[in-house]
Amino acid sequence: MIKVRDIMSSPVITVSPRNSIQQALEIMKENDTRRLPVTDGGQLVGILVQHDIEKALRSPGRIPHTPVEWVMTKKVHYVSPDQPVNEAARMMTYYKISALPVIDSGNLVGIVTDTDMLHLLIEMLEQKQA
């Protein structure tokens, strides 16, 4: 059985809720990612996706200096590293999300994304065809 730990990305690039959305966007561009878990004192408090920033910048009153905590998703779905990958995939499909932070003993240890899932699918299909 393939577990989340087998395909997750780690370590995770994060942002603070006090960072500006402009800073978050720069971090995303520098690290070629579209999503950032938001941590405060090491605890996961939210998640920010590039779409959140783009939407916020089009909203009246939102400026590049707006804090991440004003636009982040606060109700974050997450998985443990020992959960089967198919459970994570079901959660992502059910909640219509592109990533799940991976939490172990209360600590953020990784992130699993739709891209990680697609890489696994490609690998499995290529093995089956060989």
Q: Taking the model in full, what pTM does it have?
A: 0.89
Torsion of Cα atoms, 35 then 48 then 102 then 118, to 10°: -30
- Give the pLDDT of residue 63: 81
Q: Is the confidence at residue 120, as pLDDT, over 70?
A: yes
- Give the pLDDT of residue 62: 66
Domain spans of the chain? 4-129
What is the CATH architecture assignment of 4-129? Roll (3.10)
d(Cα 76, Cα 29) in Å, to the nearest integer?
Answer: 22
Q: Which amino acid is at 61?
A: G
d(Cα 74, Cα 69) in Å, to the nearest integer?
Answer: 8
- Give the pLDDT of residue 58: 83
Kindly give the residue spans of alpha helices, DSSP state H, lying in the chain: 4-7, 21-30, 50-58, 85-95, 114-129
Q: Is the confidence at residue 42, as pLDDT, over 90?
A: no
Read off the pLDDT of residues 51-103 as tens digits, 9 standing for 90 and up: 888 888 887 776 888 899 999 999 999 999 999 999 999 999 999 999 999 99
